[in-house]
Structure formats: C-alpha cells, structure tokens
Amino acid sequence: MAEKITPRLEDFSQWYQDVVVQARLADYSPVKGCMVIRPNGYSIWEQIQKDLDARIKATGARNAYFPMFIPESFIKKEAEHVEGFAPQLAVVTHAGGKKLEEALIVRPTSETIINSMFAKWVQSYRDLPLLINQWANVVRWEMRTRLFLRTTEFLWQEGHTCHATPEEAEEETQQMLKVYTDFAEETLAMPVIPGRKSESEKFAGALRTYSIEAMMQDKKALQAGTSHNLASNFAKAFDTKFLDKDGKQKLVHQTSWGVSTRLVGGVIMTHSDDKGLVLPPKLAGTHLVILPVLGKAANPAQILEKCDQLAAEIKGSNEARKLPYSISVLIDKDDTKQMGWKFHEYELLGIPLRMELGARDLEKGTIVLTRRDTGEKMFVPFAEVATKVATLLAEIQKGLLEKARAYRDQNTFKIDSYADFSQRIEKEGGFYVAPWCESRECEEKVKQETKATIRCLPLQSNYQPFEEGGACLVCQTKSKPRVRAIFARSY
C-alpha cells in the first residue's frame, strides 16, 4: 500500500519531495511553478499565521489589504527595485475583453502600491509611526521551483512601516528581526542566526537587509525571514512626506519585513526523518492519536470507552492548561485498517504522540505511549496519562529545538584557510564562519568557485565569540576585516 520514502542519506532532495507528497502536504499543479497546498500542509501554515499574527499585532501593527495588481509605472519608480524584480514579473495585459492602457504587474512584493497609499494617508508627525501588515499571495516567476521552498506563487505576510527618523526605522527593522527570531525558535523549534545581508544579497530598494538563517539537515542554509530598512528610497519615489513638529516637510523612513510559506519547507527539512514528517507540537493539527487495539479483544466496548475517557482527561488536565494550545486528540476507531498501516500513517503525518490501548493494557491499567520525535516507548498508568501527555508535548517542543541547535552547532566551523574551506564545503557542507573584507570581489569569487554564498554577517555577539581582527578568508587582507561572515550553500 504505502510508498517508500527515500532515505535522507541516499538523496536528501528526493527525501524531501517524498515526505511532502506522501504526507499530502502539497502537490504539483498544472500551472508551471505553482503548487497546491493540501489540507495537511495548509494546517501548518494556519498555525504559523495564528502564532505570528499575534506577535506582529503585539508590536502595534495592524492588518490591511492592498490590490494585488500594481501599475507597471509604479514598479519602475524605484530604480534598484525594478532592476531587481524585472526578470520575475507576471504581467496582465488584457482584462474585461480589452487590452489595458497600462499593463498591470501581479505583485512580487508591495512596497510600491503601498507607498502610493501611504503618500495619501501620512500628513503629519501625528500619523507616525504607521505600522501595517498584510497576509497575501505574491508572484515571482522562477525557473527552478521546489514545493514550499521556491514557487512562482507563494503566500506570505509583508509588513510595511513609516517612521519619522532613520533611528526609529532601524529600530523597527531590528525589532521585527527579533520577532522572527523568537518565533522561529519558540514556535517552529528552528534555531536561526539573525544577521545582516551583504550589499549584493540585500533587497532591491533597501538600504540594509537583515535575515534569519537556519541550517537544514543537509547542512545547507535556508533564509527563513527578512527585515529591510528601506531608508527613504521608496518615500522619495512616491513623495511620502509628513509635516514634522518643526514645521518642515520631511520624507518618511520606512521598513518592510516578511516570512512566507517557505517556512513550511524549512520546518520539514529541520525536523523530519526517514519515516516522514516530524512536527513541533505548536504546529501540529493533531497532537495525539489514540489507537484502540481491538483485534481479538473480548471487551472492545470497554476499550473504546476507556479511550474516550482518557482523551477527555487529557484535554481537561491542569498540565494541558499550561500549554499555549488546546491538545487535539484523534481516536482512530476504524477497524478496516491494519494496526501496521496506522503506525506507518501517523508517523508519516508527524503526529507528535501515539497511544495504544488493548485488552491486556486495560487489565494492567496502563497504556503504551510513543514519541514521534525520538521513537521512545513508555508504559504509563491510567492515572498519570493526562499529565504525561501534556508534559511530553512540552518536552518534544523543547527537545526538537535543542536537537536542531546541537546539529547546527556541530556543523558550524571557524575557518581561516580558503583552501580548507573550498574542500570542506564540498565534502562536508555546513556553515563556515570567517573574517571577510567586505569586498564584492571576494564574495563573488567564493560563489563562483564553491557555490557557497555569504548567508549573513551575524549580529549575535554571543554567537561563537570571535577574536578581534583576522585576515579575510578569501584575499587574506588584514587591514579591513571588522566583520565575520557565514559562508554556506543555500536553498
């Protein structure tokens, strides 16, 4: 019945695709580069939305919705912006049976259309800061796509803010980077490195881009979220000005920040294994599946009744109330399916805990509880089940983060020899931390010769503390290197 999942060590890319398709998270669509997000995958996105939306609102931002069509002339108003996005645009030329006078671009991001409204809404310093967020679909035409990780259309949230001073804009940019960092670690159980992007990797139109970078199980980096300080670049293009307290008209200082459905791919590649999906409990739609083992049991009704009773106890326990979600329990009473099939299915779907209860268990007053993440099996007395389930869910959430962090740290190396680096990135993969002279030439050389890029210049002062100075990994210049860069191959 069941298809086989390619083991990670055999072919990581095929493993990923097998998990996504077999767990029915997403599917290929008949439209080139576009995916269908199936209910199992969309449910993960819904959990992400709910959790992150609350964090965004807690910063004072409010949700709004802007048109997905952008007049072509708007995209062209900011020079770097149009240069960066031009190759990826989808263009509506006809509508309502006629050729349009001006072509419309399907938004690849919304800085331009939003600035055209901000220019109207922002009049005075009293209107600032203006903090807006939008949950929407965007389109960037891509040649090579992968489910969740890179698709022509994807879902995301994009925040757009206006501030009175450059300092406030920078503060907002970094605040949102912190929100993403906390969210990734606390909710996705995905450890990330917040850092600044190099000039060549920054957003088209930004003064400065920050990102959070995660390590996947194949030791490649995934950019999991970005936060941009736009300075007044778009404000200039759209004349977004305010009357300041000193009576002068000034351009606003702006930021934008976003995460997308790509995070679902990141979660899969961080936690899952050769049996299928592994989900942190905060993202799981179902936390526990209860399997009554009826087989040849003389008392099936009693077993089923006990399952119902335990499910109710689990949901109503004091420990459960301490969790930031309601425990969702599925009791699979379908007796047309084999137990082996059920084990396989629920492991594939990544349900964090599985409980079995049969005739012998009922006699002994215990159940069998199995963790999806570690495979650990426990016999738990009825009276302790409710507390145990809630405690384990919290442990799994924490354990997944710790495991992923340990894996990343084991595969992150300080390095000073370019020759060593070139060999190791090819053989072992991983993150390589080294001084960098900040020249585009050195960055480009690394890219050409090793297929690695500068993922970021990490912000965390406590992340692998460095000695001062050191020579640039690439050109060995000693005069400039004030920064450390993380070099890695990436998605």
| Residues binding a copy of itself (CB under 8 A) | 27, 29-31, 34-39, 42-43, 45-46, 62-71, 74, 86-97, 104, 106, 113, 116-117, 120-121, 132, 136-137, 139, 141-143, 153, 155
Least separation in angstroms between CB 238 and a copy of itself: 10
Minimum CB distance to a copy of itself smaller for 112 or for 226: 112
Q: CA-based angle 189:397:212, to the nearest 5?
A: 10
Least separation in angstroms between CB 3 and a copy of itself: 14
Minimum CB distance to a copy of itself smaller for 53 or for 185: 53
Minimum CB distance to a copy of itself smaller for 9 or for 54: 54
Minimum CB distance to a copy of itself smaller for 4 or for 99: 99
Q: Which three-class secondary structure state does DSSP give residue 305?
A: helix
**Which helix (H) or strand (E) covers residue 142, if one does?**
none
**Closest alpha carbon to 163 in 264, 42, 244, 271:** 244
Minimum CB distance to a copy of itself smaller for 154 or for 257: 154
Range 452-487 burial, b when 16+ CB lie within 10 A, else e:
bbbbbbbeeeebeeeeeebbbbbbeeeeebebbbbb
The DSSP code sequence of 4-53 is: PPPPTTT-HHHHHHHHHHHTTSEEE-SSTT-EEE-HHHHHHHHHHHHHHH
Least separation in angstroms between CB 240 and a copy of itself: 14
Minimum CB distance to a copy of itself smaller for 144 or for 296: 144
Minimum CB distance to a copy of itself smaller for 85 or for 436: 85
Least separation in angstroms between CB 324 and a copy of itself: 16
**Closest alpha carbon to 435 in 443, 427, 447:** 443
Minimum CB distance to a copy of itself smaller for 283 or for 446: 283
Query: Residue 191 corresponds to which tokens in the numbers above?
Result: 């450890």
Strand 377-381 with 62-63, pairing: unpaired
Least separation in angstroms between CB 152 and a copy of itself: 8
Strand 453-458 with 366-371, pairing: unpaired
Under 8 Å between Cβ of 378 and 396: no
Least separation in angstroms between CB 94 and a copy of itself: 4
- Separation between Cα atoms, residue 61 and residue 258, nearest integer Å: 13
- Separation between Cα atoms, residue 252 and residue 119, nearest integer Å: 9
Minimum CB distance to a copy of itself smaller for 132 or for 359: 132
**Closest alpha carbon to 207 in 170, 172, 176:** 170
Minimum CB distance to a copy of itself smaller for 231 or for 264: 264
- Which residues pair with residue 413 across a beta bridge? 432
Strand 431-436 with 412-414, pairing: parallel
Least separation in angstroms between CB 333 and a copy of itself: 16
Least separation in angstroms between CB 436 and a copy of itself: 33
- Separation between Cα atoms, residue 153 and residue 44, nearest integer Å: 18
Least separation in angstroms between CB 51 and a copy of itself: 15
Least separation in angstroms between CB 220 and a copy of itself: 25
Maximum separation of any 2 CA atoms in the chain, in Å? 86
Under 8 Å between Cβ of 383 and 437: no
Least separation in angstroms between CB 437 and a copy of itself: 35
- Separation between Cα atoms, residue 358 and residue 338, nearest integer Å: 14
- Which residues pair with residue 139 across a beta bridge? 153
Minimum CB distance to a copy of itself smaller for 30 or for 247: 30
Contacts of 439 (CB under 8 A, 6+ apart): 472, 475
The DSSP code sequence of 188-227 is: S----EEEEPPGGGS-TT-SEEEEEEEE-TTS-EEEEEEE
